Amino acid sequence: MLANAHIIVEGLVQGVGFRWFVARKAEALGLKGFVKNLYDGNVELEAEGERSLVEELIGQVKVGPRSAQVNNLRIEWREPQHRTAHFEIR
């Protein structure tokens, strides 16, 4: 079953390799979407693919790279968008 998760990651998540970490994990899982920094210091990401794989990515995002500190995830499940053919850093 395909799923799409729109996620805002709050915490110390900029300047610590967080976007690269997410992109690498998402690509390894075969997910599509994007990750980008927001002006308020948070990170936004959208992941699309098999729901179980999206949930696996969410579990990895909760931990993040060693230098990050994830305080909260705001997750919104959406209908698959089919907007991108791969996962990208914006």
Name residues whose C-beta falls within 8 Å of residue 39's C-beta, 6 or more positions apart in sequence.
none
90 is catalytic: no
Triad 54, 61, 5: Cα angle to 5°: 35
Query: Parallel, antiparallel, or unpaired for β 2-12 and 32-37?
Result: unpaired
Catalytic one among 4, 24, 37, 51? Answer: 37
37 is catalytic: yes
Tokens of 17: 């390799």
Q: Which residues are catalytic?
A: 19, 37
